[in-house]
Amino acid sequence: MKNTLHAPDGDTPAGARKWAANRPAVIADALFSPGGRLSWLLLALLLSLVPARAQMEGSEPGRRIGLHLACQCGSCSHTVARCEMFGCFAQTTREEIARMSASGMSDQAILDHYIAKHGQQIYRAQPSAFGWLVPYLALLPGAALIYWFIRRYRRPALVLATGGRPGGPAAPAIDPRYLAQIEKDLE
C-alpha cells in the first residue's frame, strides 16, 4: 500500500494510529521523492528568493548613507536605502554612493554632494527621541478615554431602597397585606 498525505482508513482508531506512526515517512516521501510536487514547489520558491535577497542587501555604504536621503522618484516616501521600485532614483543613487565610497569619499562628503545637487529636501535626519516618543505618548490620552468610557458605562446603575436614583421619585409603599403574606410564607 502506497503512503499518502491523508489517512485512507483514518476513521478507525487502528488506522489513525498506523497513519500517525508513518507520518514522518509520508511527509519525507512527498518532499524528497523525484516526482514530489512539494519538492519542486520548494525549489522554485528558494530560487525565486535569491535575486530578491541580493537586491535587498545592496552595499553597506548605499544602505548607511541612503537612510539619510529621501527617494526622489515622486511616487513613494521611502529613503534611498528602503525604496525597492525597479528603475527608481534610489537604485541608481545606491550604485553612485557605492562608487563614491569606494573612491574614498567620506559619508558626510557624499551627503553634502547630494544636498548640493538636489537641495535640502533630500536630507532625512535621524529621528530624535522626541520623534520616537510622540506616537506612544499620543496613545495615553486615548487609553485614558477608553478607560473612562468603560468605567462610566459599564458600572451597574445604583438602585436605592426608595426605588429610584438619588433625587428621583420614591418607590410606592408596599401593601401591608402582601407583607403579612410574605411573613406567613416564610414561617
**Residue 11 clears pLDDT 60, i.e. is over it:** no
Instruction: At 52, list the grid cell.
Output: 530578491
CA 101 to chain centre: 35
Give the pLDDT score at 175.
85
The answer as to CATH 3.40.640.10 being correct for domain 59-124 is: no
Could you report how far apart the first and last alpha carbons of the chain are, in Å? 79
Give the pLDDT score at 84.
81
Contact 130, 73 (CB under 8 A): no
Least confident of 9-23, 153-167, 173-187: 9-23
Picking from 31, 33, 89, 93, the residue whose alpha carbon sits closest to that of residue 58 is: 93
* Residue that the C-alpha cell 537641495 belongs to: 119
Task: Give the Å distances, CA to CA, from 154 to 140, 143, 146, 149, 163.
Answer: 21, 16, 12, 8, 21
A 10 A CB-CB count for 105 gives 17
What mean pLDDT do residues 158-162 have? 53
Give the pLDDT score at 174.
80
How do residues 79-108 score in pLDDT, each as one tens digit?
A: 888 888 877 888 888 888 988 988 999 989
What's the CA gap between 29 and 35, in Å, rounded? 9
